[in-house]
Structure 1
């Protein structure tokens, strides 16, 4: 998606899709919020780095009725969901996200997964009050808990659209236990580190030969 693609007709059609998704998520009890749009006047020229809540009092608006949600999306807003109440999200980079997703498939753990156009993966889980130290200490992992939010599909970025890697309805809208996903992410981190160490050893051995 290029910046030149943002015609009025395209924006109108996309707003309808965003509104429908927001209403559907609200009907399932997810605390959705309207977020800024990449071409909105509040974002300046080329300064937009991702959606943030439109309303300064967004925390007081959580749990809005679907009818109120429908009223919000009469404007072209991005789609956000607040974390720390109904769900949490663990954000990782593309490589770690792919590795963790493969492990989740192999173990049969259900987990809705979101991917953003800037190479970030979001694993949605039940709410927890902390991360395991192994994840908390990693620069590759960001935990979205109380007081935070994440974008949901089909939120637009300047060069792409947020999309589902695994949709929540695939698992009957069940969120996986946070600790189960944490353990899988720890395994994915360890696999990546072991691979890196093996690569370094191979390079060292080749140089010594």
Structure 2
């Protein structure tokens, strides 16, 4: 996959957009924080730390992630930091691959249950759910639960080859997070349908 050309002009424009989004989410009480961002083929923004994806720039991110709008605005005053959210506070996120994500989203639409969904440029879908529910054993090898002690990237965070975006915006759901049991039901239903289709083809 081709890398995105993050020129100075693009980085400046994204910094303004990221800052506005961070301030808006902070005003809703979301614990946002700055993360490393792409420059060329590397992630930068944190000294002495190499990674293959975004990560918090502060070691004390679990206590410094905050919702004070003026503090958040200051973070994004100079760099186009990735927009991260500390999970396990206002929401958890269930991460799956794009195929399972599309199937689960279709299952949720079929029963009229809107849930905020994020997609990353590297083919991962994240379903934002109410915090505190464990991942079921059926999904243990196929999904990752981001809860306490973890984080996720929020739109419009830049990646090496694209931008994180909403598949279903929180506004569509009235800013309510998905029911984690219903979302996991939808994922399991999607797996069942995929298995049945594979048997029919075989």
TM-score by length of 2: 0.90
1:58 to 58, 61, 65: 61
Match of residue 7 from structure 1: 7
Distance of 1:181 and 1:111 partners within structure 2: 8
Q: Provide closer, same or farther for how the CA distance between residues 191 and 4 of structure 1 changes in structure 2, counting only shifts above 3 A.
A: closer
Do residues 121 (structure 1) and 125 (structure 2) align?
yes
Q: Who wins on radius of gyration, i.e. which is larger?
A: 1
Deviation, structure 1 residue 27 = 1.0
Deviations 1:27-77 (A, max 9, x none): 111111111001154689xx7521001101000113331111111111220
Distance of 2:51 and 2:200 partners within structure 1: 39
Match of residue 38 from structure 2: 38
Question: Which 4+ runs in 1 deviate beyond 6 A?
Answer: none
Do residues 29 (structure 1) and 29 (structure 2) align?
yes
Aligned residues of 1:38 and 1:48 also touching (Cα < 8 A): no
Q: Provide closer, same or farther for how the CA distance between residues 23 and 43 of structure 1 changes in structure 2, counting only shifts above 3 A.
A: closer
Q: Provide closer, same or farther for how the CA distance between residues 181 and 165 of structure 1 changes in structure 2, counting only shifts above 3 A.
A: same
Q: Provide closer, same or farther for how the CA distance between residues 42 and 23 of structure 1 changes in structure 2, counting only shifts above 3 A.
A: closer
Instruction: List gaps (5 residues or longer) in structure 2.
Output: none
Instruction: List gaps (5 residues or longer) in structure 1.
Output: 203-209
Instruction: Point out the structure with the larger helix share.
Output: 1
The RMSD of aligned alpha carbons is 1.9
Q: Provide closer, same or farther for how the CA distance between residues 4 and 168 of structure 1 changes in structure 2, counting only shifts above 3 A.
A: closer
Q: How many residues align?
A: 196
Do residues 98 (structure 1) and 111 (structure 2) align?
no
Match of residue 130 from structure 1: 134
Deviation, structure 1 residue 191 = 1.4
Distance of 2:193 and 2:128 partners within structure 1: 21
Q: Provide closer, same or farther for how the CA distance between residues 4 and 118 of structure 1 changes in structure 2, counting only shifts above 3 A.
A: closer
Deviations 1:84-125 (A, max 9, x none): 111000000011111111111111112000000010000000
Deviation, structure 1 residue 127 = 0.4
Residue 5 of structure 1 aligns to a residue in which SS? coil
Distance of 1:190 and 1:4 partners within structure 2: 37
Match of residue 205 from structure 1: none
Residue 28 of structure 1 aligns to a residue in which SS? coil
1:71 to 68, 74, 79: 74
Q: Provide closer, same or farther for how the CA distance between residues 41 and 170 of structure 1 changes in structure 2, counting only shifts above 3 A.
A: closer
